[in-house]
């Protein structure tokens, strides 16, 4: 067995420490992308009388990307590391006080005030006019968490990243009862469509 001398150890240990530290340094090297005020997230639905739409007036997004991450995503590469989007469910505005009240009751706002999406992985590929892909993650709604996959597109706008997409959501899959109005004469469809148009800047 070969025995390392004290001199050899002194030369080897710093190199080993640097080798072990490099992945940690790379992991910590990221930038925060900021959600811009013009970003939008809303829910479209139907009822036995007419269609309706509720806008989220309070959206919080935490997006961590590699340095120059926006350029990487636009090039079809995985430049984003972490995504978490949170919506205050009590601040969904349907443009009608009665509808707001029924929607908040349906979403169990008293017990579950936040709708929370966390990205676990994603696929991205470059196309003719930007990029497209799938956002895989978990959605917590009304106290129920499910794994979902959201199709989305992205493109560069003046150095910012605009991400758009939509996702059909069945309220009953989250143990939510679709709202009814006018003593049951108006019934909201159990499937709604969540839509988003988000602008992110570094």
Strand-pair partners of 192:
169
- Read off the pLDDT band of 28 (50, 70, 90): low
In this prediction, residue 185 carries a pLDDT of: 77
pLDDT tens digits, residue range 104-125? 999 999 999 999 999 999 999 9
What's the confidence (pLDDT) of residue 181?
A: 76
Q: Is residue 150 part of a domain?
A: yes
Residue whose pair of structure tokens reads 């990307």 in the numeric block: 65
Q: Between 168 and 129, whose confidence is greater? A: 168
**Domain presence at residue 109:** yes
Q: Is residue 188 part of a domain?
A: yes
**Which tokens hold the place of 66?**
């590699």
Q: Mean pLDDT, the chain, as a whole number?
A: 88
Percent of the residues in the chain that have a pLDDT greater than 90, as a whole number: 77
Report the pLDDT averaged over residues 38-42: 97
pLDDT of residue 1: 43
Number of domains in the chain: 1
- For residue 6, is it within any domain? no
pLDDT the model gives residue 9: 38
Range of the domain at 73: 30-201
For the domain that residue 181 is a member of, what is the CATH number?
Answer: 2.40.128.110
What pLDDT band is residue 183 in, cutting at 50, 70 and 90? Answer: low
What average pLDDT does range 22-26 have in this prediction? 45
14 in any annotated domain: no
pLDDT tens digits, 141-161: 999 999 999 999 999 999 999
Residue 10 lies in a domain: no
Q: What pLDDT band is residue 29 in, cutting at 50, 70 and 90?
A: confident
3-state SS, 93-162, equals: ECCCHHHHHHHHHHCCCCCCCEEEEEEEEEEEEEECCEEEEEEEEEEEECCEEEEEEEEEEEEEECCEEE
68 falls within a domain: yes
Average pLDDT over residues 46-75: 95
Which pLDDT does position 178 carry in this prediction?
A: 93
Closest to 65 measured CA to CA, from 79, 51, 49: 79
Q: Residue 51 falls within a domain, yes or no?
A: yes
- Greater confidence, 27 or 64? 64
pLDDT for 98 equals: 87
């Amino acid at each position: 067995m070969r025995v390392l001398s004290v001199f050899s150890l002194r030369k080897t240990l710093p190199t080993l420490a640097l080798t072990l530290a490099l992945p940690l340094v790379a992991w910590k090297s990221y930038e925060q992308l900021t959600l811009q005020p013009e970003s939008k997230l809303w829910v479209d639905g139907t009822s036995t009388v007419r269609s309706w739409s509720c806008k989220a007036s309070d959206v919080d997004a935490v997006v961590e990307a590699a340095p120059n991450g926006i350029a990487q995503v636009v090039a079809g590469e995985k430049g984003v590391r972490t995504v978490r989007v949170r919506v205050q469910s009590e601040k969904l505005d349907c443009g009608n006080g009665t509808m707001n009240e029924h929607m908040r009751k349906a979403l169990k706002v008293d017990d579950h005030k936040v709708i929370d999406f966390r990205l676990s992985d994603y696929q991205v590929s470059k196309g003719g006019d930007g990029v497209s892909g799938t956002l895989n993650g978990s959605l917590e709604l009304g106290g129920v968490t499910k794994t979902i996959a959201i199709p989305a597109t992205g493109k560069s706008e003046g150095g910012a990243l605009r991400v758009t997409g939509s996702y059909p959501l069945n309220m009953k899959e989250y143990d939510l009862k679709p709202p009814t109005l006018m003593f049951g004469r108006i019934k909201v469809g159990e499937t709604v469509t969540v839509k988003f148009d988000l602008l992110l800047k570094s």
